[in-house]
A = this chain, B = another copy of it.
Amino acid sequence: MQTMRTIEWRDGTLATLDQTKLPNENLILEMRECEEVAFAIKEMKMRGAPLIGVAAAYGLALTAYHSKAKTREDLIRQIEASAKILIETRPTAVNLFWAVERILRKARGTTGDAETVTRVVVNEAQRMADEDVEANLKIGEHGAELINDKDVILTHCNAGSLATVDHGTALGIVRTAWAQGKKIAVIATETRPKLQGARLTAYELKRDGIPVSLITDNMVGYVMSRRLINEVVVGADRIVRDAVINKIGTYSLAVLAHEHNIPFYVAAPKSTFDLVHTSKDAIIEKRNADEVTYIGSQRIAPMGVKVLNPAFDITPIKYVSGIICETGVLSKTKLEKLATASKHG
Protein backbone atom coordinates (compact mmCIF):
# COMPACT_ATOMS: atom_id res chain seq x y z
CA MET A 1 0.00 0.00 0.00
CA GLN A 2 1.23 3.53 -0.71
CA THR A 3 2.43 5.69 2.18
CA MET A 4 0.07 8.56 1.39
CA ARG A 5 -3.63 8.06 0.80
CA THR A 6 -4.78 9.32 -2.61
CA ILE A 7 -6.72 12.00 -0.76
CA GLU A 8 -5.85 13.36 2.68
CA TRP A 9 -7.49 15.88 5.00
CA ARG A 10 -4.83 18.02 6.65
CA ASP A 11 -6.50 20.48 9.06
CA GLY A 12 -8.65 22.31 6.56
CA THR A 13 -6.52 21.53 3.53
CA LEU A 14 -7.25 18.68 1.13
CA ALA A 15 -4.16 17.11 -0.45
CA THR A 16 -4.11 14.84 -3.51
CA LEU A 17 -1.81 13.89 -6.38
CA ASP A 18 -2.64 15.67 -9.64
CA GLN A 19 -3.36 12.57 -11.72
CA THR A 20 -3.15 14.43 -15.03
CA LYS A 21 0.60 14.86 -14.38
CA LEU A 22 1.36 11.19 -13.68
CA PRO A 23 3.54 9.26 -14.36
CA ASN A 24 6.00 11.96 -15.40
CA GLU A 25 5.52 14.27 -12.41
CA ASN A 26 4.39 13.80 -8.78
CA LEU A 27 2.55 17.05 -8.16
CA ILE A 28 0.63 17.38 -4.90
CA LEU A 29 -2.45 19.58 -5.17
CA GLU A 30 -3.54 21.35 -2.02
CA MET A 31 -7.11 22.61 -2.00
CA ARG A 32 -8.81 24.86 0.53
CA GLU A 33 -12.05 25.63 -1.31
CA CYS A 34 -14.81 23.39 -2.59
CA GLU A 35 -14.59 25.10 -6.02
CA GLU A 36 -11.02 23.83 -6.34
CA VAL A 37 -12.25 20.32 -5.59
CA ALA A 38 -15.01 20.66 -8.22
CA PHE A 39 -12.47 21.90 -10.77
CA ALA A 40 -10.06 19.04 -9.97
CA ILE A 41 -12.88 16.52 -10.48
CA LYS A 42 -14.03 18.12 -13.74
CA GLU A 43 -10.48 18.22 -15.12
CA MET A 44 -9.84 14.66 -13.93
CA LYS A 45 -6.96 15.66 -11.66
CA MET A 46 -8.90 13.36 -9.35
CA ARG A 47 -10.88 10.57 -11.00
CA GLY A 48 -12.28 7.15 -10.23
CA ALA A 49 -15.81 6.73 -8.90
CA PRO A 50 -14.92 5.98 -5.24
CA LEU A 51 -12.32 8.74 -5.11
CA ILE A 52 -14.55 11.46 -6.51
CA GLY A 53 -17.27 10.44 -4.03
CA VAL A 54 -14.94 10.93 -1.06
CA ALA A 55 -13.44 14.05 -2.66
CA ALA A 56 -16.92 15.58 -2.92
CA ALA A 57 -17.59 14.81 0.74
CA TYR A 58 -14.29 16.47 1.66
CA GLY A 59 -15.17 19.38 -0.63
CA LEU A 60 -18.26 20.02 1.49
CA ALA A 61 -16.11 19.63 4.60
CA LEU A 62 -13.82 22.38 3.25
CA THR A 63 -16.83 24.66 2.79
CA ALA A 64 -17.97 24.00 6.35
CA TYR A 65 -14.48 24.26 7.86
CA HIS A 66 -13.68 27.64 6.29
CA SER A 67 -17.18 29.06 6.58
CA LYS A 68 -17.77 32.30 8.45
CA ALA A 69 -21.47 31.46 8.84
CA LYS A 70 -22.80 32.44 12.26
CA THR A 71 -25.86 30.21 12.23
CA ARG A 72 -26.55 26.54 11.50
CA GLU A 73 -29.01 27.60 8.77
CA ASP A 74 -26.50 29.85 6.97
CA LEU A 75 -23.89 27.12 7.08
CA ILE A 76 -26.27 24.53 5.64
CA ARG A 77 -27.20 26.96 2.86
CA GLN A 78 -23.49 27.34 2.03
CA ILE A 79 -22.99 23.57 2.05
CA GLU A 80 -26.00 23.21 -0.25
CA ALA A 81 -24.53 25.79 -2.65
CA SER A 82 -21.24 23.85 -2.74
CA ALA A 83 -23.17 20.62 -3.28
CA LYS A 84 -24.82 22.13 -6.34
CA ILE A 85 -21.40 22.95 -7.85
CA LEU A 86 -20.03 19.48 -7.11
CA ILE A 87 -22.90 17.51 -8.65
CA GLU A 88 -22.55 19.44 -11.90
CA THR A 89 -18.95 18.33 -12.45
CA ARG A 90 -19.50 14.83 -13.84
CA PRO A 91 -22.80 13.09 -14.51
CA THR A 92 -22.03 9.36 -14.64
CA ALA A 93 -20.29 8.08 -11.49
CA VAL A 94 -23.02 7.66 -8.89
CA ASN A 95 -20.63 7.86 -5.91
CA LEU A 96 -20.48 11.63 -6.35
CA PHE A 97 -24.25 12.01 -5.83
CA TRP A 98 -24.28 9.41 -3.07
CA ALA A 99 -21.52 11.21 -1.15
CA VAL A 100 -23.04 14.66 -1.52
CA GLU A 101 -26.45 13.33 -0.40
CA ARG A 102 -24.92 11.60 2.60
CA ILE A 103 -23.15 14.76 3.81
CA LEU A 104 -26.24 16.92 3.22
CA ARG A 105 -28.44 14.47 5.12
CA LYS A 106 -25.95 14.41 8.01
CA ALA A 107 -25.68 18.21 8.13
CA ARG A 108 -29.44 18.70 7.97
CA GLY A 109 -29.96 16.05 10.64
CA THR A 110 -27.57 17.69 13.08
CA THR A 111 -28.96 19.99 15.73
CA GLY A 112 -26.72 22.53 17.45
CA ASP A 113 -24.73 25.48 16.21
CA ALA A 114 -22.65 25.97 13.03
CA GLU A 115 -19.55 24.72 14.82
CA THR A 116 -21.27 21.47 15.72
CA VAL A 117 -22.50 20.97 12.14
CA THR A 118 -18.99 21.64 10.84
CA ARG A 119 -17.49 19.08 13.20
CA VAL A 120 -20.10 16.51 12.17
CA VAL A 121 -19.56 17.18 8.44
CA VAL A 122 -15.76 16.94 8.67
CA ASN A 123 -16.04 13.75 10.74
CA GLU A 124 -18.51 12.24 8.27
CA ALA A 125 -16.19 12.95 5.32
CA GLN A 126 -13.32 11.37 7.27
CA ARG A 127 -15.51 8.36 8.06
CA MET A 128 -16.40 7.98 4.37
CA ALA A 129 -12.70 7.99 3.46
CA ASP A 130 -11.99 5.33 6.09
CA GLU A 131 -14.99 3.27 4.97
CA ASP A 132 -13.72 3.38 1.39
CA VAL A 133 -10.38 1.89 2.44
CA GLU A 134 -12.16 -0.78 4.52
CA ALA A 135 -14.49 -1.62 1.62
CA ASN A 136 -11.54 -1.97 -0.75
CA LEU A 137 -9.68 -4.26 1.65
CA LYS A 138 -12.78 -6.45 1.85
CA ILE A 139 -13.24 -6.38 -1.92
CA GLY A 140 -9.61 -7.44 -2.13
CA GLU A 141 -10.23 -10.42 0.14
CA HIS A 142 -13.40 -11.58 -1.61
CA GLY A 143 -11.92 -11.03 -5.05
CA ALA A 144 -8.61 -12.72 -4.30
CA GLU A 145 -10.49 -15.98 -3.75
CA LEU A 146 -11.29 -15.95 -7.47
CA ILE A 147 -7.65 -15.49 -8.47
CA ASN A 148 -5.39 -18.51 -8.81
CA ASP A 149 -1.65 -18.68 -8.42
CA LYS A 150 0.07 -17.69 -11.71
CA ASP A 151 -3.07 -16.08 -13.14
CA VAL A 152 -2.70 -13.16 -15.52
CA ILE A 153 -5.40 -10.54 -15.00
CA LEU A 154 -6.53 -8.12 -17.67
CA THR A 155 -7.70 -4.76 -16.36
CA HIS A 156 -8.93 -1.59 -18.02
CA CYS A 157 -8.55 2.07 -17.08
CA ASN A 158 -7.46 2.52 -13.45
CA ALA A 159 -9.49 0.98 -10.65
CA GLY A 160 -6.52 1.17 -8.34
CA SER A 161 -5.45 3.01 -5.25
CA LEU A 162 -5.48 6.17 -7.40
CA ALA A 163 -9.20 5.67 -8.17
CA THR A 164 -10.02 5.26 -4.49
CA VAL A 165 -8.76 6.51 -1.12
CA ASP A 166 -6.39 3.56 -0.96
CA HIS A 167 -5.83 -0.09 -2.05
CA GLY A 168 -8.19 0.09 -5.04
CA THR A 169 -11.08 -2.05 -6.23
CA ALA A 170 -9.96 -4.12 -9.25
CA LEU A 171 -6.30 -3.49 -8.36
CA GLY A 172 -7.16 -3.99 -4.68
CA ILE A 173 -7.95 -7.60 -5.62
CA VAL A 174 -4.63 -7.82 -7.43
CA ARG A 175 -2.82 -6.35 -4.39
CA THR A 176 -4.48 -8.73 -1.95
CA ALA A 177 -3.81 -11.78 -4.16
CA TRP A 178 -0.18 -10.64 -4.53
CA ALA A 179 0.14 -10.14 -0.75
CA GLN A 180 -1.16 -13.71 -0.32
CA GLY A 181 1.90 -14.86 -2.27
CA LYS A 182 0.16 -15.64 -5.55
CA LYS A 183 2.59 -15.11 -8.42
CA ILE A 184 0.20 -13.16 -10.60
CA ALA A 185 0.70 -10.59 -13.33
CA VAL A 186 -1.44 -7.89 -14.86
CA ILE A 187 -2.02 -6.83 -18.44
CA ALA A 188 -3.25 -3.22 -18.49
CA THR A 189 -5.03 -1.61 -21.45
CA GLU A 190 -3.73 1.90 -22.01
CA THR A 191 -7.32 3.25 -22.05
CA ARG A 192 -7.57 6.02 -24.58
CA PRO A 193 -8.32 8.84 -24.66
CA LYS A 194 -7.03 9.77 -21.19
CA LEU A 195 -4.57 6.87 -20.91
CA GLN A 196 -5.36 5.97 -17.30
CA GLY A 197 -4.09 2.44 -17.91
CA ALA A 198 -0.72 3.56 -19.27
CA ARG A 199 -0.27 6.50 -16.93
CA LEU A 200 -1.85 5.31 -13.66
CA THR A 201 -2.34 1.52 -13.56
CA ALA A 202 1.11 0.75 -14.96
CA TYR A 203 2.56 3.37 -12.59
CA GLU A 204 1.01 2.13 -9.36
CA LEU A 205 1.62 -1.56 -10.08
CA LYS A 206 5.25 -0.94 -11.03
CA ARG A 207 5.67 1.14 -7.86
CA ASP A 208 4.39 -1.83 -5.82
CA GLY A 209 6.54 -4.35 -7.68
CA ILE A 210 3.61 -6.23 -9.21
CA PRO A 211 4.40 -7.46 -12.76
CA VAL A 212 2.48 -5.43 -15.35
CA SER A 213 2.48 -5.31 -19.14
CA LEU A 214 0.89 -2.57 -21.18
CA ILE A 215 -1.20 -3.04 -24.32
CA THR A 216 -3.17 -0.69 -26.55
CA ASP A 217 -6.94 -1.04 -26.30
CA ASN A 218 -7.22 -2.79 -29.66
CA MET A 219 -4.93 -5.66 -28.55
CA VAL A 220 -7.57 -7.13 -26.21
CA GLY A 221 -8.92 -9.61 -28.79
CA TYR A 222 -5.38 -10.73 -29.63
CA VAL A 223 -4.49 -11.24 -25.95
CA MET A 224 -7.65 -13.27 -25.35
CA SER A 225 -7.36 -15.38 -28.49
CA ARG A 226 -3.83 -16.38 -27.44
CA ARG A 227 -5.08 -17.18 -23.90
CA LEU A 228 -2.56 -14.78 -22.40
CA ILE A 229 -5.00 -13.88 -19.62
CA ASN A 230 -7.13 -15.87 -17.18
CA GLU A 231 -9.74 -13.31 -16.20
CA VAL A 232 -10.78 -9.71 -16.64
CA VAL A 233 -11.27 -7.52 -13.55
CA VAL A 234 -12.47 -3.93 -13.93
CA GLY A 235 -14.03 -1.27 -11.71
CA ALA A 236 -17.35 0.51 -12.18
CA ASP A 237 -18.69 4.04 -12.21
CA ARG A 238 -22.31 3.05 -11.65
CA ILE A 239 -24.00 -0.31 -11.30
CA VAL A 240 -27.65 -0.12 -12.30
CA ARG A 241 -30.26 -2.88 -12.24
CA ASP A 242 -29.45 -4.27 -15.67
CA ALA A 243 -25.91 -3.14 -16.39
CA VAL A 244 -22.50 -1.97 -15.30
CA ILE A 245 -21.52 1.50 -16.44
CA ASN A 246 -17.77 1.94 -16.59
CA LYS A 247 -14.97 3.58 -18.56
CA ILE A 248 -15.40 3.52 -22.34
CA GLY A 249 -14.06 0.23 -23.68
CA THR A 250 -15.37 -1.92 -20.83
CA TYR A 251 -18.28 -3.15 -22.95
CA SER A 252 -15.96 -4.25 -25.77
CA LEU A 253 -13.83 -6.13 -23.20
CA ALA A 254 -16.89 -7.85 -21.78
CA VAL A 255 -18.15 -9.01 -25.20
CA LEU A 256 -14.69 -10.28 -26.12
CA ALA A 257 -14.33 -12.08 -22.77
CA HIS A 258 -17.76 -13.67 -23.30
CA GLU A 259 -16.76 -14.89 -26.78
CA HIS A 260 -13.57 -16.43 -25.36
CA ASN A 261 -15.22 -17.91 -22.23
CA ILE A 262 -13.00 -15.82 -19.99
CA PRO A 263 -14.51 -14.70 -16.65
CA PHE A 264 -15.35 -11.01 -16.54
CA TYR A 265 -15.50 -9.55 -13.00
CA VAL A 266 -16.49 -6.10 -11.81
CA ALA A 267 -15.11 -4.82 -8.49
CA ALA A 268 -16.93 -1.94 -6.79
CA PRO A 269 -18.10 -0.85 -3.34
CA LYS A 270 -21.80 -0.58 -2.53
CA SER A 271 -21.53 3.21 -2.93
CA THR A 272 -21.30 2.55 -6.70
CA PHE A 273 -24.64 0.69 -6.78
CA ASP A 274 -27.69 2.52 -8.10
CA LEU A 275 -30.27 -0.24 -8.14
CA VAL A 276 -33.26 2.06 -8.39
CA HIS A 277 -32.27 2.87 -11.96
CA THR A 278 -31.66 0.97 -15.17
CA SER A 279 -29.21 1.66 -17.97
CA LYS A 280 -31.76 3.64 -19.95
CA ASP A 281 -31.80 6.28 -17.17
CA ALA A 282 -28.03 6.63 -17.18
CA ILE A 283 -26.36 9.74 -18.55
CA ILE A 284 -23.17 8.93 -20.46
CA GLU A 285 -20.84 11.91 -20.21
CA LYS A 286 -19.56 13.22 -23.55
CA ARG A 287 -16.21 14.93 -23.14
CA ASN A 288 -14.23 17.36 -25.29
CA ALA A 289 -12.99 16.38 -28.77
CA ASP A 290 -9.50 17.60 -27.89
CA GLU A 291 -9.06 14.62 -25.57
CA VAL A 292 -9.06 12.45 -28.70
CA THR A 293 -7.30 14.73 -31.21
CA TYR A 294 -4.46 15.80 -28.92
CA ILE A 295 -2.12 13.78 -26.72
CA GLY A 296 -0.55 16.35 -24.44
CA SER A 297 0.30 19.23 -26.74
CA GLN A 298 0.65 16.98 -29.76
CA ARG A 299 -2.09 17.01 -32.40
CA ILE A 300 -2.68 13.54 -33.86
CA ALA A 301 -5.58 14.16 -36.27
CA PRO A 302 -6.38 16.66 -39.01
CA MET A 303 -7.82 20.00 -37.89
CA GLY A 304 -11.59 20.15 -37.87
CA VAL A 305 -12.23 16.39 -37.89
CA LYS A 306 -15.42 15.35 -36.11
CA VAL A 307 -14.97 13.26 -32.97
CA LEU A 308 -17.12 11.07 -30.74
CA ASN A 309 -15.95 11.05 -27.13
CA PRO A 310 -18.30 9.18 -24.79
CA ALA A 311 -16.45 8.71 -21.48
CA PHE A 312 -18.32 5.55 -20.46
CA ASP A 313 -20.21 2.63 -21.92
CA ILE A 314 -22.85 0.21 -20.72
CA THR A 315 -22.18 -3.49 -20.16
CA PRO A 316 -25.38 -5.55 -19.79
CA ILE A 317 -25.34 -7.85 -16.75
CA LYS A 318 -25.46 -10.92 -19.01
CA TYR A 319 -21.78 -10.36 -19.84
CA VAL A 320 -20.73 -10.05 -16.16
CA SER A 321 -19.52 -13.20 -14.38
CA GLY A 322 -19.70 -11.61 -10.93
CA ILE A 323 -19.65 -8.33 -9.06
CA ILE A 324 -17.20 -8.20 -6.19
CA CYS A 325 -18.22 -5.80 -3.43
CA GLU A 326 -17.38 -5.46 0.27
CA THR A 327 -20.01 -8.03 1.28
CA GLY A 328 -18.90 -10.72 -1.16
CA VAL A 329 -19.23 -11.82 -4.76
CA LEU A 330 -22.63 -11.24 -6.29
CA SER A 331 -23.48 -13.69 -9.03
CA LYS A 332 -25.79 -12.62 -11.83
CA THR A 333 -28.69 -14.30 -10.02
CA LYS A 334 -27.90 -12.58 -6.71
CA LEU A 335 -27.63 -9.23 -8.40
CA GLU A 336 -30.96 -9.72 -10.10
CA LYS A 337 -32.57 -10.57 -6.74
CA LEU A 338 -31.01 -7.50 -5.11
CA ALA A 339 -32.30 -5.40 -7.99
CA THR A 340 -35.82 -6.79 -7.60
CA ALA A 341 -35.79 -6.19 -3.84
CA SER A 342 -34.62 -2.62 -4.37
CA LYS A 343 -37.32 -2.09 -7.02
CA HIS A 344 -40.05 -3.07 -4.56
CA GLY A 345 -38.35 -1.66 -1.45
Using a CB–CB cutoff of 8 Å, the interface residues on chain A facing chain B are 23-24, 156, 187, 189-193, 195, 198-199, 202-203, 206, 211-223, 225, 228, 248-249, 251-252, 254-256, 258-259, 292-293, 295-302, 304-308, 310, 313-314
Contacts and interface: CB of A to CB of B under 8 A. Distances in A.
B298 A206 contact: no
In the assembly, how many copies of this chain are there? Answer: 2
Given A202-B305, A221-B313, A308-B223, A215 B251 contact: no
Contact of A216 (B192, B213, B223, B306): B192
- Describe A's contact surface by its main secondary structure: mixed
Given A190-B192, A216-B248, A296 B293 contact: no
Contacts of A190: 192, 292, 300-301
A215 B292 contact: yes
A307 B252 contact: no
Contact of A206 (B202, B295, B305): B305
Given A198-B301, A313-B225, A306 B211 contact: yes
A256 B314 CA distance: 14
Given A191-B218, A225-B251, A258-B259, 4 more contacts: A24-B299, A213-B305, A222-B251, A255-B259
A339 B187 CA distance: 36
B202 A308 contact: no
A63 B193 CA distance: 44
A25 to B, nearest CB: 11
Of A190, A216, A259, A292, which is in contact with the most chain B CB atoms at under 10 Å from its CB?
Answer: A216
Given A219-B308, A222-B248, A198 B293 contact: yes
A258 B255 CA distance: 10
B252 A302 contact: no
A308 B217 contact: no
Contacts of A300: 190, 195, 198-199, 295
Contacts of A304: 206
B225 A314 contact: yes
Given A198-B293, A217-B218, A206 B302 contact: yes
A218 B248 contact: yes
A100 to B, nearest CB: 28
A297 B24 CA distance: 13
Contact of A217 (B216, B223, B306): B216
Contacts of A298: 295-298
Nearest to A313: B222
Given A213-B308, A301-B198, A249 B223 contact: no
